[in-house]
Amino acid sequence: MAIRDFLVSRRARITPESAGLPADGLRRVAGLRREEVAALAGVSVEYYIRLERGKCQGISDAVLAAVARALRLDDVEREHLFDLVHAANETSHERPWPPPCVRPEVRRLLDAMTDIPAYVWDGCLEIVAANELGRALFAPLYEGETANQARYIFLDPAAADFFPDWRTLAHDAVALLRAEAGRRPGDERLAALVGDLTSGSPAFRRMWADYDVRRRRSGVKRFRHPIVGSLTLTFESLAIVADPDLRMTAGTAEPGSDSETALRLLGSWSASTRTEGKA
């Protein structure tokens, strides 16, 4: 049960002392007990237990907000709790989710960004469109059947060399998939991806059990590229308002840096490869 697992994992992080509650000796569970969360949220124990068991009918957003405050959820965790509860209250959330579709206008925007790598990705961390420099940057991912970031990170042994900060990126990928699973519980493609990663990667299984959630906005990534070597890029992730299931991410290098030089070399390599392919 996703709601139970999430709430148990969040209350396990909080000690009674940090919550201003008396410590009363040995405990069978880590962190706060259910009755302590209920008291901090100002609801009855029975009401909170019903929520943790996934029996969410009639539970208001005000109560969820109180539970979120009691458990000290950040904005993304709070949103995830609301997603889980709202999904549980739907009469049927096993509806098909259409495959991602990138509009021609978005593709033109990608192609217009010639000096920076840019790509569009979906909730399964699939790169569904990229400009030329984006494809060149993520060339190792395109060697597989699909350019899926999670599959590459967890199932390709070369990923730890390509991404020097592999552990951080792996944790981020799992947290993004967790958040998406709460938002789209009936997505069969997402469920299949999680199943493949769970069966194929012990590291994914361990991280998935932590139940962390995250939304990607910006950050720095380091690469050890097979063509141009090491480079560090700052990425910004932007919502595509007309396509809420997709995001666009673009990366830039520090002006005058070795990474900027490497990025230019990568562009030249990509252009020469394209020319050779047409010859």
Q: Which helix (H) or strand (E) holds 92?
A: none
Confidence of residue 279 (pLDDT cuts 50, 70, 90): very low
pLDDT of amino acid 95 = 57
Quote the percentage of the chain above a pLDDT of 70.
Answer: 94
Residue 122 CB coordination number (10 Å): 22
Q: Are 218 and 235 in contact (CB under 8 A)?
A: yes
Six token digits for residue 267: 């562009």
pLDDT of 91 > 60? The answer is no
pLDDT of res. 38: 94
Sign of CA dihedral 137, 142, 147, 151: negative
Write down the pLDDT at residue 209: 92
- The predicted model gives 109-134 an average pLDDT of 96
pLDDT at res. 19: 80
pLDDT of the residue at 124: 95
Longest CA–CA separation in the chain, Å: 77
d(Cα 233, Cα 262) in Å, to the nearest integer? 11
Residue 140 has pLDDT above 60, yes or no: yes
pLDDT beyond 90 at 97: no
Averaged pLDDT, 195-222: 92
User: Taking the CB of residue 143, how many other CB atoms lie within 10 A of it?
Assistant: 11
Question: How would DSSP label each residue in 116-147?
Answer: S-EEEEETT-BEEEE-HHHHHHTGGGGGSSS-
| pLDDT tens sequence across 152-180 | 999 999 999 999 999 999 999 999 999 99
Average pLDDT value for the chain: 90
Residue 21 — very low, low, confident or very high, per pLDDT cuts 50/70/90? confident
Question: What band does 276 get if pLDDT is binned at 50, 70 and 90?
Answer: low
Q: Which residue has the higher pLDDT, 73 or 87?
A: 73
Determine which of 60-64, 79-83, 128-132, 216-220 has the lowest per-residue pLDDT on average.
216-220
- Of the spans 15-19, 59-63, 211-215, 230-234, which averages the highest pLDDT? 230-234
Q: What is the rounded average pLDDT of the residues 261-275? A: 89
Let me know: does 128 contact 102? Beta carbons within 8 Å.
Answer: yes
What's the pTM value of the predicted model, to 2 decimals? 0.87
For the chain, domains (ranges, CATH) are: 2-89 (1.10.260), 104-278 (3.30.450.180)
